[in-house]
Structure 1
Amino acid sequence: MKTPLPNLRDRQREETREQILRAVGDQLEKRSLEDLSFAEIARDAGVGERTVYRHFPTKEALLGAFWAWLQTEAFRQQPDRPKAQRTDRRIREGITAPRDAMRPMRILVATDAWEPQVNGVVRTLTRVVQELQAMGHVVEVIHPGQFKTFPLPTYAEIKVAIGVYEPVQELFKDFEPEAIHIATEGPIGLAARRICVEWKLPFTTSYHTRFPEYVSARLPLPLAAGYAYMKWFHKPSGRLMVATPTMREELSRHGFRNISAWSRGVDTENFHPRREGEPDLFADLPKPIFLYVGRVAVEKNIEAFCALDLPGTKVVVGPGPQLDELKEKYPNVVFKGPKSGDELAAHYACADVFVFPSLTDTFGLVILEAMGAGTPVAAYPAPGPIDIIPGSGAGVLALTATEGLREACLQCLDLDRKKVRAFAETFSWRACAEDFVKNLQPYPEPEKTRFWRRLRRLARVRRRRPEAA
């Protein structure tokens, strides 16, 4: 009779834990992470404050648990909804039918990164979608703007979608895609991945952010845990699209498979050198101008730039959770806030050197944007810069990932801006979109795997047959 008691206690403990995590989600819809308190969470959860602390002794522990819970809650299937077998069979037949890879297709893209977010992933995806549509493809994008969202803990500018599984199912059924691409590993990507696996739909994925490094920089989670999650997420993918050779080699070492090259582009019409008669945005600042553009966040390693002893002025353009902290810590740095469109292009064009201190990016689209403006780039030898800069004449790499960035910045002042611009012109968004379309056809299953599957199937058939008399 004593056996069921621990099970009951465990169930009650789990229910209390979920009440607390749901209360965190409710609070984040109304206020930022910094404004949360354990007392408010306890009140909304209907428990005592001590109970919250007993489950989550620190805010970091609460944050990690909330993110993990969100991953499962975001695509949890309602038990009373039957599967639409006819629909998934029709979609599967459409995707697996033989076709010319370059003919117009119905392409579904699932992404947790979309406008109004401002980052390289969003700029890449929006531009590729535009090119795909210009090529005659019909594209459906599943993005956070279609769902209820809340601000991402530690980064309120990014909205995380919740309750997405069933709506994503309906979008799959309504659109009936011929090709499916999952661009991110968040709740929308998880829901799309689960649907593809359950319905046996071929799909491809892409690797835009060094997610394990990104998470380790923000939360007390080991790097190995991040890579385990990413390997699990991308394992069923028919192709994993990766921008640079360095990242492809790095992922191969970590055991990722089906890796394929996907180039990047730059809009050289928008990002161009300063033309005659155009104003100098930095006319009132001491020269030379060293510029950073991007998220102002810890994983971008911006402090390595802000702390450099450089002549002239250091300028930071972009929003992010670390903005107020860095403004206070580095009063000699000019923080301009977020910029876009022509105004952003003008900031690139008026700078003398663009500085890219990040060690966690997989490419760094801002590098090409700066080069399009004729502005040379100084960066650490990390994935992205190490693939773009060497031999280009358009930038200089630091000696190591921790030293030599100042020297690289100063050497960039001597580079020919016309050669920098000419190098940027070799990158095209149309070529990027064409690469994307070619990669939508998954790699064929290895013959070795098919052979062993046939052998196991044959063995099962023989075991089921009655022995001959």
Structure 2
Amino acid sequence: MTAAQTVDAFPYWRLSRRAGPPGDREIDARPFRVLVATDAWRPQVNGVVRTLEALAGEAPWHGAELRFLTPQGFRTLPMPSYPEIRLAMATPASVARAIEAARPNAIHVATEGPIGAMTRRYCLRHRLPFTTCYHTRYPEYLAARAPIPLSAAYAVLRRFHNAAAATMVATDTLRQELAGRGFDRLVRWRRGIDVDAFTGGRSDALEGLARPIFLCVARVAVEKNIEAFLKLDLPGTKVVVGDGPARAELAARYPRARFLGFLSGAALADAYASADAFVFPSLTDTFGLVVLEALAAGLPVAAYPVAGPRDILAGSGCGALDKDLAAAAMAALAIPRSRCRNFAAGHSLADSVRSFLDNVRAAQGAAALPAG
């Protein structure tokens, strides 16, 4: 295996690849190159992968190029209790070769798995600044599957992230929480989506189902708390979009719900546009991009009053937050769809990419990696 095989280079698009006037949308011929080390990558479908792919697609319009060091090109093993996730059997030497072949101006470690850990090790050994991101509440996810104390899991993550020049978080609430657990150098990364991708969906895609239609879009796994949604006493129809290890069991247990599997692109936009309310039952997500996607489609949101949905929806008038999720779902039906669309328009992908790159550049400081 060569180093080049382990690095996924996103195309560095020219201006002709995207509609729009020139001017401030022109692409710099010498991009700021960021190597992103991530254990979450295709064919996985989750918020981390979707965030990174969207980031890479928009980055060229901000003078940057993202390359990815991923499990692709390495032998992998299934993660215990979650075989859909494959863990790379990489070696420090192979990761070092991949990093050096990429010749980055900056390094970002997106996940805490084998790829992320070896990239972190390389940076520390060579005294290179790097950034990380706290995407996932792994201590809570592990606790849902095994008797692992939260304190022990957080101690491991704290050591991992505190070696970075900066650790990015999606919300101020999460920043305060992690700071209280001893995490250092926390910076906000403003999240956003390609709003236009979700504004033109067909409203008849779920025609024939009893209304109101309550939609949940998520990886179908225990940590997403989807069963809390399926248990709700609601009129109409419950629809679940997504796949995962718990799908077969939940579909058998709740035969009246409709499980549509994984959807993307226009099909996903159609599902949002066809529903009457979006229900987000997670108690552990650090943000929840699907909430922004639903709002972009004009779909009001119902959720528990926890970090993530509370940070997104507080004061917006676009969602209902209640410890009684059924009450929140019914209240969401009265929210105007136009209000949701207008709110989502303020959470663009361009703003998110600028925020990410500002954090990466600031973390380099005087010790920036040489341009190459």
Alignment TM class, shorter chain as reference: 0.7 to 0.9
Q: 1:210 aligns to what?
A: 137
Q: 1:39 aligns to what?
A: none
Matches within 5 A, 1:260-339: 260-272=187-199, 274=201, 278=202, 280-339=204-263
Matched-pair contact (CA < 8 Å) for 1:306–1:333: yes
Q: 2:123 aligns to what?
A: 196
- Out of 331, 346, 349, the residue aligned to residue 429 of structure 1 is 349
Number of aligned residue pairs: give it: 336
Q: Provide the secondary structure at the position in 2 that maps to 1:114.
A: coil
Q: 1:139 aligns to what?
A: 66
Matches within 5 A, 1:59-458: 104-272=31-199, 274=201, 278=202, 280-398=204-322, 403-440=323-360, 441-442=362-363
Q: TM-score, normalised by structure 1?
A: 0.70
| Distance across 2 between alignment mates of 1:210 and 1:172 | 27
Indicate the RMSD between aligned Cα atoms, in angstroms.
Answer: 1.5
The one-letter code of the counterpart of 2:188 is A
Q: Provide the secondary structure at the position in 1 that maps to 2:179.
A: helix
The one-letter code of the counterpart of 1:374 is G
The one-letter code of the counterpart of 1:171 is A
The one-letter code of the counterpart of 2:165 is G
Deviations 1:373-431 (A, max 9, x none): 00001011122101011111211111xxxx31111100000000001010000011111
| Distance across 2 between alignment mates of 1:215 and 1:287 | 37
Deviations 1:342-398 (A, max 9, x none): 111111111101000101110000000000100001011122101011111211111
| Distance across 1 between alignment mates of 2:65 and 2:283 | 36
| Distance across 1 between alignment mates of 2:134 and 2:267 | 29
Deviations 1:66-122 (A, max 9, x none): xxxxxxxxxxxxxxxxxxxxxxxxxxxxxxxxxxxxx83121110111222111111
Matched-pair contact (CA < 8 Å) for 1:149–1:160: yes
The one-letter code of the counterpart of 1:303 is E
Q: TM-score, normalised by structure 2?
A: 0.87
Name the CA shift for 1:307/1:154 in 2 (closer, same or farther; >3 Å).
Answer: same
Structure 1: stretches of 5+ with no match in the other structure: 1-102, 446-469
Q: 1:443: Cα distance to partner?
A: 8.0
Structure 2: stretches of 5+ with no match in the other structure: 1-29, 367-372
Q: 1:444: Cα distance to partner?
A: 7.0
| Distance across 1 between alignment mates of 2:43 and 2:107 | 23
Q: 2:24 aligns to what?
A: none
Q: Provide the secondary structure at the position in 2 that maps to 1:150.
A: strand
Query: Which structure is higher in RCO with an 8 Å CA cutoff and minimum separation 6?
Result: 2
Q: Provide the secondary structure at the position in 2 that maps to 1:442.
A: helix
Q: Provide the secondary structure at the position in 2 that maps to 1:315.
A: strand
How many percent of aligned residue pairs carry the same amino acid?
51
Structure with bigger helix share is 1
Matched-pair contact (CA < 8 Å) for 1:273–1:372: no
Q: 1:305: Cα distance to partner?
A: 0.4
| Distance across 1 between alignment mates of 2:285 and 2:91 | 27
Matches within 5 A, 1:449-468: none
The one-letter code of the counterpart of 1:250 is E
Q: Provide the secondary structure at the position in 1 that maps to 2:339.
A: helix
Matched-pair contact (CA < 8 Å) for 1:371–1:424: yes
